[in-house]
Chain A
Amino acid sequence: MHSVQSLLTSITATVALTLSVPNTSWADDPIPVVATFSVLGDMVKRIGGEHISLTTLVGADGDTHVYQPTPQAARVVAEADVLFINGLGFEGWLERLVEAAPFAGSLVVATTGIEPIAFGDHDDHEEGHEEATDHHGEHGAFDPHAWHSFTNAIIYANNIAAGLAQVDPTNAGFYYQNHQIFVNEIRALKAEADVIMAALPIDKRTVVTPHDGFGYFADLYNLRFEAPQGLSTESEASAADVAKLILLIRKQEISAVFIESITDNRLMEQIANETGAVIGGKLYSDALSSEDQPASTYLDMMRHNTKTLSQALGD
């Protein structure tokens, strides 16, 4: 079966080559693609399967906000046929990299077609003005952490499949088949999460995380996330932000404190110490975990975050 398929694809590829369609590659040769960070990389891997050779620039547990491209990164980008990026200003360093590389393939922005949340829409940060303006300069006007909404993840998957099919039309069927399976799994997980999150009490829906990475998740499930560090992990907390969080916890308006995999969690631990709040667990926001941790794929990450949040808020 497999050999028949590969024979078929190679025939098609040969035909395609003789017709000199641009950007075609040998069917047996996986096409080189690059994804900027681990969450996106996992999605691309799900859809591209063995027909792509994927390089992820910012790997597991890495922080995309502060990533600095290496010459090696420039080389893989220069050699790539497709470059998948999140967009919405998440990869601030990308423009320089693409120019320096130089990159001549096709660029797929995974957030194309989503409805971005503007800063401050999901969260009132009156006291974080300095920080908020700081982020505007760096991030653009929208919250880039869009993959935390299942609906957006399906749009990501659509964009990825379309991007791969365009560059490698011979395997388009394969990509769309994987895409369909992946989308079905996302839908199934969303249905599961909807039930779990709907069961949470109405008055216990505010939580603290180190940096503001969960705006889309919050919107989806009517939660409120407070963060001393604001939207980028790069900024430094002020005493005012910390005091505000402590007051909220004391007034019992905040139900749980979480730590994140990519941030410095000492501040969270101090806040928990001072207020007696319990650390509800570790959430994954901007990067997947390594293989031995519970969030090594996109679906696992979403499952883990949902479970951790609902366990901390449910009791």
Chain B
Amino acid sequence: MIWELVFAPFVEFGFMRRALLGCVAVSFGATPVGVFLMLRRMSLTGDAMAHAILPGAAIGYLISGLSLSAMTIGGLIAGMVVALTSGFVARVTAITEDASLAAFYLISLAVGVLIVSTRGSNVDLLHVLFGSVLALDDAALILLCSFATLSILTLAVLLRPLVLECVDPQFLRSVSRLSAITHFIFLALVVINLIAGFHALGTLMAVGIMILPATAARFWAAGIVGLISVAALIATLSSVIGLLLSFHFSLPSGPAIILVAGIGYIFSLIFGPVGGAIVQALPRQKT
């Protein structure tokens, strides 16, 4: 029974194993980044960056067709340009980072839509640009796994300054020059993880796997290690359950995975031991 429901689909079908591997890679790569985004109160930055990447990927597609590398490189360039310029503007002018990011991603998005429209192709670019988790080929899987590895290794190196930047950015800026570098490398990580997520989950679902597990983890753990582990666990579970739901109930896979993560978030929000709704409602016990 359990075998039939849970394991058989993966044993029997190669595309299910590929989908699972792709999702797990994205789960491990993107969720730690999501945790830091949340801790730095930048959760919506993920969404903004997702829009900033689209035009670059679209240009890549228009130049060389459905090529994984062209679209990835295009997306990387667009994402990095937006991240770097908005970060730079925020550091040298009076404007705050979220405002300058909003400005730059909107410019980037407008440029992208303009290019796509004047090119006159009527194939729905958003649909073509990013694959479905069910159609991951070898090249896409290698890309997803390398991006996840790169992301985890970079985070391991940057862990200390990143945590400091979350807790007390003023202090970090005063004692070390690493502050700016850390910030930009972190934004770069956001970009590469979003691109990986795009290839796996298609368009805007990618932001979901980055942010939802991280915010859900917030209700289960307080320390950074705990947060990251719980978030990665929730993301992986959501991937497995979402894929199985897609398999057994004939649902589109990307939205199924994100919805499971969303249900995980709502469950955590109610029952989570760290600041969840029920815990908050209970009378405080005196210690």
Contacts and interface: CB of A to CB of B under 8 A. Distances in A.
Interface of A: 58-59, 61-64, 66-68, 70, 127-131, 233-243, 246, 262, 264, 266-267, 269-271, 273-274
Given A267-B132, A270-B136, A61 B123 contact: yes
Interface string B235-265: 0000000010011111111111000000000
Contacts of B253: 236-239
Nearest to A235: B252
Contact of A243 (B13, B127, B136, B137): B13
A143 to B, nearest CB: 21
A59 B122 contact: yes
B14 interface: yes
A234 B203 CA distance: 13
B27 to A, nearest CB: 18
A274 B127 contact: no
A270 B14 CA distance: 9
Given A243-B9, A267-B135, A66 B246 contact: no
Interface centre among A66, A127, A266, A269 (most CB of B within 10 A): A266
Given A58-B122, A274-B14, A274-B15, A239 B136 contact: no
B123 A267 contact: no
Contacts of B248: 240
Interface of B: 9, 12-16, 18-19, 66, 117, 120-124, 127-128, 131-132, 134-137, 202, 243, 246-256
A251 to B, nearest CB: 13
A270 B137 contact: yes
Q: Which residue, of B15, B137, B248, has the highest number of chain A Cβ atoms within 10 A? A: B15
Given A62-B123, A239-B9, A242-B15, A130 B135 contact: no
B19 A239 contact: yes
Q: Which of A131, A237, A242 has its CB near the most chain B CB atoms (within 10 A)?
A: A242
Nearest to B253: A239
Nearest to B68: A266
Contacts of A127: 250
Contacts of A238: 246-247, 249-253, 256
A58 B14 CA distance: 37
B135 A266 contact: yes
A270 B124 contact: no
